Amino acid sequence: MKRVKPLIVSITILGVLVLASSDLKADDAVVEIIDKTNWERAEGLVPDCLLDWVKKGEWTLPLMSEVRFNEVEFNVDYALESRTKNIGKYDLDEKDTIVHAETGEMASRIIGFPFPKIDPDDPKAAVKIMYNKQYVPYISGCKRFTVGITWVGGHGGYERDIEAFFRDAYFEGYPGARDRYKVPEEAERYMIISVRKPYDLAGTSVMMWRYLTNKADVNFAYVPAIRRVRRTSPANRSDGFVGSDFALDDILAYDGKIAAFDFKLVAKKEALVPYASPNTVPLVKAEKPGEWRMGDDRPSMRYGYMDKEWQGAAWAPMNILYARRPVWVIEAKSKDPYYNYGIQYMWIWADTWGPAYKMVHDRSGKFWKFMSVGTAGYLGDEGKLKVLNWLDHVIVDPRRNHASVITIMRPETLMVFFADLDVNDFSLGGFQKYCK
């Protein structure tokens, strides 16, 4: 009788455990599990800190047999059309503001991706990649959604949860955005985040106004302890949100103003990037005409702290899957001397411009934080509506032996695309109703 090698046995057992703890069907079995026994298989394909955790048995990388949708072609029609229509249409001025290539005038009403063709030799290539990344959520319209943020300790595991409600109003990226909301021509985006639970943090809220011009973001915050709204510096977006490891500018790897940073293209390379599922996630009609929300039949992401049998890090994802894709590696440094973060490195998908990983260094240059972001493809309207979205974030601070997990892919959360928002909510008066 032929002897089965121990490595194959361990991979098979781990694959069964991954499948058992996820919402994947049996025929979605992974082809390989990269763990501490074969970590060399991921060398150069994931950030060094993640590879080190794989070596130590704190994190595993289940590789998918296939992804059952083409990410590059999986988008709304006008986004796909922009991949050809917008080639050469836009450029950047000396302040890194998007302008019309022919006239040099500030551009607005941009539909789809502003820079669909990236030349690695272009001195502004990194900035253009970051603008494409910024437009990824714009393309699927305004959004309202809830997220859970979980504090996870390296020793005790689960610590606490908060629930936050987001309202994101985008005035670029999709047809009719500016006409629909009747906002100033220079407005690019408005955003409100309000904490709902637990009681001691409920009502803590922030609001942002962002502009297409070189004007800095305008930010407001309401803190229940002082019971008033105060204007805050854009540098505050690098502070931990309500005491978590996550800062507002960590959303989708970087959520600040592009012109506020210096960006440098480091490399283009192959990487193992995280997915919520190899299958598409259903979209169903929401409460208002034109709105679409995540269907109830969707994957639910699980993390180490949820399973007593898990032997890895408490914050490590248990059913995130990985596939090999090309990424751009971008170096980023804030121009603001009061910004908390030093140099950051972001791994951005080369073909869809979504985020995969981020590594943060402090101002002295020492490694500080790691972040991983999973992606999913959403399908609705009998296959006619296609949306790519980047969801759960895992932010790890090795110095504190602590992490924060931001989850959207779980039953109690909500995500609505093409949401019908009231622009008056983003006035100072409208903001008050979200404050405790």
| Mean pLDDT of the region 358-374 | 97
Lowest-confidence segment of 155-159, 223-227, 310-314, 388-392 by average pLDDT: 223-227
Of the candidates 75, 7, 37, the residue with the CA atom closest to the CA atom of residue 417: 75
Q: In this structure, are 258 and 307 located in the same domain?
A: yes
How high does pLDDT run on average in the chain?
A: 90
Of the candidates 113, 142, 111, the residue with the CA atom closest to the CA atom of residue 130: 113
What does pTM read for this prediction? Answer: 0.92
Q: Give the separation between CA 204 and CA 243, rounded to whole angstroms.
A: 12
Kindly give the residue spans of alpha helices, DSSP state H, lying in 122-182. Answer: 125-139, 177-181
Q: In this structure, are 211 and 88 located in the same domain?
A: no
Q: In this structure, are 41 and 121 located in the same domain?
A: no
**Which residue is it, tokens 């590879």?**
51
Q: In this structure, are 96 and 214 located in the same domain?
A: no
pLDDT at 19 over 50: no
Q: In this structure, are 337 and 425 located in the same domain?
A: yes
Q: In this structure, are 301 and 154 located in the same domain?
A: yes
Q: In this structure, are 316 and 422 located in the same domain?
A: yes
Q: 128 exposed, middle or buried (CB, 10 Å; 0-12, 13-18, 19+)?
A: buried
Q: Which domain holds residue 427?
A: 139-432
- Express each pLDDT in 229-287 by its tens digit: 999 998 889 999 999 999 999 999 999 999 999 999 999 999 999 999 999 999 999 98
- Express each pLDDT in 371-426 by its tens digit: 999 999 999 999 999 999 998 999 999 999 999 999 987 777 889 999 999 999 99
| Mean pLDDT of the region 36-45 | 97
Q: Considering its fold, how many domains does the chain have in total? A: 3
In a domain, 152, yes or no: yes
Q: Give the separation between CA 21 and CA 19, rounded to whole angstroms.
A: 5
Q: 384 exposed, middle or buried (CB, 10 Å; 0-12, 13-18, 19+)?
A: exposed
